A and B are shown apart, each in its own frame.
Chain A
């Protein structure tokens, strides 16, 4: 059945639900590359009108990626909570937007309906929402997760400390870690992207991080972002695994491109749970996602990149993750061309994930071949901060010398916390104070040289 809308005397027709969703999406280079983008602005708005009139139920009746072919579709359909969906079942996509923005849809209500929302419903409603709508609704949603501290509380902004090094030099990583901790960064996780993706290297890096965490009694978790199969092997060998990491995407084929299946994730999840390393909770998974991942693996099944991205959050939520983040500007300008597209995508990803009940953070970032710069990242971080983002990623001076791209600096996150009066996770904030790094009277991080703190020996500094 085709979807139609008449605008300005012209009738626009959209063959399939996939076509309708793609045409309703804001312009982005990835959909253009896939040949899915609306051809004119008028066609895009006509698609949005048609989408707004569509009953939400449609997404339960029409699979974008066939159930028989794709285990992500099966996961979405088989775990759908029809009781939670009941109060939404009479709504169209347009009515759903209005309801989400209404005062009636408060924090408790939004939590209650999350299991009744599918990724496709979230993606669909996001396409008829402006940036401020995406922020206003996400701001109302609380997703609280716990391991050695509490993440996602109202008034808090946590952060991942990313001390990457091009050759995984332990002293170099320790120096970057020290720098981050002195800026109050690292409460979400201290997480390294290893340059060498091997079991032996993962073990060595984890041992170093775990030693430092225990020595200074830091109430946080550490992670080496190696492939899930490596992490399973590291756990088998008794390595210090707090969190299992994996990049995931929204289709079975795209996940296979990452070398991962749902049973492998389940195996890793159960293994990490059995370690019982969390002190205040047992959310043990950490996932990264990003628009364009499925298309770059030629595994998007003709679905627009934002919708297929939202499907990855259904994978994430099946494993009760501590953290999930979109790597929004990392995948490149062939998917998100410039600052405007990156900013919009960051807000969409955060909104859709939160609506599904996923603890969403963001690597607010860009590559040197994208049309973006630090001003765009300033804008994105403030918008995400105002929208209640779970965590942001920080690297020394915003320059990741291993992955060769720019994220936020530790200083940027300090600025954001100050601008929006956001605090670190409470356990971590108390630790910063105990260590004399936080000035509770002035309500700010002290600017201290390593030698003036008890952390100096972490990196062998004076």
Chain B
């Protein structure tokens, strides 16, 4: 090989000794740094790796929520099933306003009760995330909220965060927890967000919510999320509010935020 005689650099990150200078730097970032070049452009494995990640993210957006698997996870316990006014994914993506309102049939199917809180498992932009995290978080919350009147779980499809407002208002619940699939990125396609709103109503502003984000196997664990959420819910009940006022009262910054960007 000529490289043995003439020390020409190879294309990309590896020098002639075969040592990859980029490897030690990758501990500091998940960014796709130091990708080798073929001419000006990327090598085949990196091109395909990107496409695979993009495919996974798109599948998370477009695969319908598997309600049967949620039913299985609920182990025979009853839950309620609603849909937004967006009849399909394509409409859902174009019309966020429809994803925030219940379909006529869905509203009629929701029972009224004297509930402190209703939990909503919503598909959002990643059904994968909801399928994976919603039922475990619901179970973890019930362990932490003894004495609370908790409504049956509501499973919502083609749903945006604000759909929870109408669900809670229809059922007469004092607050709503929406567990929803976040917009997937290339590195994480199964991240779930949780939005807490006290005394929600149709049209209530996003600034009156608190959120926990980044709940997935490599991010915030269900257990840690449940602890933070339980604290938020108790404080919300005590202060009779959620949103910026509650964020400011939080003991630690952590993952507790007010809402900047909704799915």
Interface residues in chain A, defined as those with a beta carbon under 8 Å from any beta carbon in chain B: 29, 32-33, 163-166, 169, 171-176, 178-179, 333-334, 337, 367-369, 373-374, 395-399, 401, 404-406, 409, 411-412, 414-415, 418, 444-452, 456, 459-462
Residue pair A447, B9 in contact (C-beta under 8 Å): yes
Residue pair A399, B50 in contact (C-beta under 8 Å): yes
Chain A residues whose CB sits within 8 angstroms of the CB of B10 once the complex forms: 447
In the complex, given contacts A178-B25, A397-B42, A449-B21, what are 13 additional A-B residue pairs having Cβ atoms less than 8 angstroms apart?
Answer: A164-B31, A165-B31, A169-B28, A171-B25, A333-B93, A334-B93, A337-B94, A368-B183, A401-B187, A445-B40, A447-B10, A449-B9, A450-B21
- In the assembled complex, 18 residue pairs joining A and B whose CB atoms fall closer than 8 Å, in A order, are A164-B31, A165-B31, A166-B30, A169-B29, A172-B31, A175-B25, A179-B34, A334-B93, A373-B54, A374-B51, A397-B31, A397-B46, A399-B50, A414-B40, A447-B36, A449-B12, A449-B22, A451-B21
A174 to B25, CA, bound (A): 9
Residue pair B93, A337 in contact (C-beta under 8 Å): yes
The contact string, 1 if C-beta is below 8 Å from chain A, for chain B 168-195, is 0000000000000001111111000000
Chain A residues whose CB sits within 8 angstroms of the CB of B33 once the complex forms: 175-176, 178-179, 396-397
Residue pair B32, A396 in contact (C-beta under 8 Å): yes
Residue pair A461, B21 in contact (C-beta under 8 Å): yes
Residue pair B183, A404 in contact (C-beta under 8 Å): yes
CB distance from A417 to the nearest CB of B (A): 8
Chain A residues whose CB sits within 8 angstroms of the CB of B211 once the complex forms: none
A163 to B28, CA, bound (A): 12
Chain B residues whose CB sits within 8 angstroms of the CB of A173 once the complex forms: 29
Residue of B nearest to A395 (CB): B31
Chain A residues whose CB sits within 8 angstroms of the CB of B13 once the complex forms: 449-450
B64 within 8 A of A: no
A174 to B14, CA, bound (A): 19
A349 to B3, CA, bound (A): 48
Q: Quick one: which of B9, B36, B41, B95 contacts A452, CB cutoff 8 A?
A: B9
Interface of B, helix, strand, loop or mixed by DSSP: loop
Residue pair B54, A175 in contact (C-beta under 8 Å): no
Chain A residues whose CB sits within 8 angstroms of the CB of B65 once the complex forms: none
Residue pair A401, B183 in contact (C-beta under 8 Å): no
B57 within 8 A of A: yes
A86 to B125, CA, bound (A): 52
Chain B residues whose CB sits within 8 angstroms of the CB of A406 once the complex forms: 54, 186
A450 to B34, CA, bound (A): 9
Chain B residues whose CB sits within 8 angstroms of the CB of A172 once the complex forms: 28-29, 31
Chain B residues whose CB sits within 8 angstroms of the CB of A444 once the complex forms: 40
Residue pair A404, B29 in contact (C-beta under 8 Å): no
**Chain B interface bracket (under 10, 10 to 19, 20 to 34, 35 or more):** 35 or more
A178 to B125, CA, bound (A): 34
Instruction: Assess A404 versus B185: contact at CB under 8 Å? Given A333-B94, A368-B58, A369-B125.
Output: yes
Instruction: Assess A401 versus B185: contact at CB under 8 Å? Given A169-B29, A462-B21.
Output: yes
Chain A residues whose CB sits within 8 angstroms of the CB of B19 once the complex forms: 449, 451, 462
Instruction: Assess A459 versus B50: contact at CB under 8 Å? Given A333-B93, A411-B41, A447-B9.
Output: no
A398 to B54, CA, bound (A): 11
Residue pair B24, A461 in contact (C-beta under 8 Å): yes
Chain A residues whose CB sits within 8 angstroms of the CB of B37 once the complex forms: 411, 414, 447
Chain A residues whose CB sits within 8 angstroms of the CB of B152 once the complex forms: none
B97 within 8 A of A: yes
B88 within 8 A of A: no
B35 within 8 A of A: yes
CB distance from A3 to the nearest CB of B (A): 28
Which residues of B, 32-78, contact A by the 8 Å Cβ criterion? 32-37, 40-42, 46, 50-51, 53-54, 57-58, 60-61
Residue of B nearest to A370 (CB): B93
Instruction: Assess A367 versus B183: contact at CB under 8 Å? Given A411-B42, A447-B10, A450-B21.
Output: yes
Residue pair A401, B30 in contact (C-beta under 8 Å): yes
Residue pair B94, A32 in contact (C-beta under 8 Å): yes
Residue pair B29, A456 in contact (C-beta under 8 Å): no
A406 to B183, CA, bound (A): 13
A456 to B21, CA, bound (A): 9
CB distance from A455 to the nearest CB of B (A): 11
Lowest 5 A-B CB distances belong to which pairs? A397-B32, A404-B185, A172-B29, A368-B57, A172-B28
A165 to B26, CA, bound (A): 12
A297 to B19, CA, bound (A): 51
Chain A residues whose CB sits within 8 angstroms of the CB of B58 once the complex forms: 368
Q: Quick one: which of B31, B61, B94 contacts A401, CB cutoff 8 A?
A: B31
A456 to B96, CA, bound (A): 47
CB distance from A373 to the nearest CB of B (A): 7
B11 within 8 A of A: yes
Chain A residues whose CB sits within 8 angstroms of the CB of B29 once the complex forms: 165, 169, 171-173, 175-176, 401
Residue of A nearest to B34 (CB): A179
Chain A residues whose CB sits within 8 angstroms of the CB of B34 once the complex forms: 179, 450
Residue of B nearest to A368 (CB): B57
A255 to B46, CA, bound (A): 40
CB distance from A440 to the nearest CB of B (A): 16
Chain B residues whose CB sits within 8 angstroms of the CB of A415 once the complex forms: 40-41
Residue pair A449, B14 in contact (C-beta under 8 Å): yes
CB distance from A31 to the nearest CB of B (A): 11
Chain B residues whose CB sits within 8 angstroms of the CB of A460 once the complex forms: 25
Chain A residues whose CB sits within 8 angstroms of the CB of B35 once the complex forms: 396-397, 409, 411
Q: Quick one: which of A399, A411, A445, A447 contacts B31, CB cutoff 8 A?
A: A399
CB distance from A400 to the nearest CB of B (A): 8
Chain A residues whose CB sits within 8 angstroms of the CB of B104 once the complex forms: none
B248 within 8 A of A: no
Residue pair B95, A374 in contact (C-beta under 8 Å): no
Instruction: Assess A446 versus B9: contact at CB under 8 Å? Given A333-B94, A397-B31, A405-B185.
Output: yes
Of A29, A397, A412, A451, the most chain B CB neighbours within 10 A belong to A397
B15 within 8 A of A: yes
Instruction: Assess A399 versus B40: contact at CB under 8 Å? Given A29-B94, A337-B94.
Output: no
A449 to B18, CA, bound (A): 10
A409 to B183, CA, bound (A): 21
Chain A residues whose CB sits within 8 angstroms of the CB of B24 once the complex forms: 461-462
